[in-house]
Amino acid sequence: MTLPSVHSYLSHLECSRTGEPYDADVLQGASAVGAPLLARYDMERVRASVTREEITARPPTLWRYHELLPVRDDAHVVSLGEGMTPLLPMPAYGRRAGLSRLLMKDEGLIPTGTFKARGAAVGVSRAAELGVKGVAMPTNGNAGAAWALYAARAGMESLIAMPDDAPAITMAECRVAGAELYRVDGLIGDAGRLVGAAVGEREGYQEVSTLKEPYRLEGKKTMGYEIAEQLGWRMPDVILYPTGGGVGIIGIHKALRELRELGWVTGDLPRLVAVQATGCAPIVEAFERGARESTPFPDARTVAFGITVPKALGDFLILDAIYETGGTAIAVTDEELLTAQAELAALEGTFICPEGAACFAALGRLRESGRIGADEEVVVLNTGTGVKYPETVQVDAPLLAKDGRIPGRA
């Protein structure tokens, strides 16, 4: 029997704390207890209607997994071709770290230059489907840039607030996309309070702060689907993820659990490793205490701006993912991550963002402590291109006169 074609098997939303169900076809924010809402799907119908082989034959965007995404009608999909970023071997850096099977999932090649495009694509598409006229969010930079650009493509308005010391290029992206942009003298939490107050006064706007709407997570989880598919529908031993708000690591955990429920992958889930900077490490501090939630990190500062989140709304989900998979959390210094960023470019020809570099900086210590074995398959997520962070690299090159000459090599 052939089942009728359905674009999405979204069934309902579920409170991540209480398990209470919510209507997925009504515009929702957080749950009644202030917790993130998680999208749930009719997995039996997904299993009966599509195979992983059929998915593999589809165009190489994240929308190939549309049965497990929340947009019900393909007409509402807002896309710039996002998804299916490469999974690259890193043999030279792997040798330096003592690892024989090191891979990098390179999100620097996705539209807008960071993994934030995944969440923006799905979040904006679903918002459009539910009748939203404008999106509003606080951001450390890259998420705001992505949501502003995807909102522009959807014909929506966008309101973006970011710390004044956020990367200038992300502010430029927001402005060129026509966003209503504000710089805030403070951190992302301060920007969030201003955005929350503004949304209450704007009809048709939705606040899309991290995990305060359900669908950004659904876009981010496709990184997990892609890793499994690119490895021949199997899972690696370890996945390292730079962790601020934590949507990426929560999403990958959710995706791999969904694939295992479908029977498309089998075995233990990869050990998930949350990597932070010592200047903002609330998850690391909570993990070391064996806690289920974090406490606000004081005086948060790091050059890896995207992970400067003193207290994540979904901190308990991040920690659950680490504990459930037997993973860990580790922090590195700004000096260590900038050194790793430069070494990776010199050894592998990849100029990655400082957040992704933090994960590479953590590898040596994880290997030395025995938390990663020499022969284990390790996937590092690079969440963006280094080109968006020109201030992380000091250019010290001689200035030559136009009639001068370049010296020969000895």
Q: How confident is the model at residue 2 (pLDDT cuts 50, 70, 90)?
A: very low
pLDDT of 156 over the 70 cut:
yes
Strand-strand pairing, 238-242 and 37-41: unpaired
pLDDT in tens, 85-108: 999 999 999 999 999 999 999 999
Domains of the chain, CATH where assigned: 87-113+216-391 (3.40.50.1100)
Give which of 179, 100, 118, 176 is closest to 144, Cα–Cα.
Answer: 179
pLDDT in tens, 194-249: 999 999 899 999 999 999 999 999 999 999 999 999 999 999 999 999 999 999 99
pLDDT at 397 (0 to 100): 86
61 three-class SS: coil
pLDDT in tens, 170-204: 999 999 999 999 999 998 889 999 999 999 899 99
pLDDT in tens, 355-400: 999 999 999 999 999 999 999 999 999 999 999 988 888 888 888 9
Find residue 105's DSSP bridge partners.
Answer: 87, 381
pTM: 0.95
Q: What is the mean pLDDT of the chain?
A: 96
pLDDT in tens, 10-38: 999 999 999 999 999 999 999 999 999 99
pLDDT at 339 (0 to 100): 97
Answer whether 315's CB lies under 8 Å from 280's CB: no
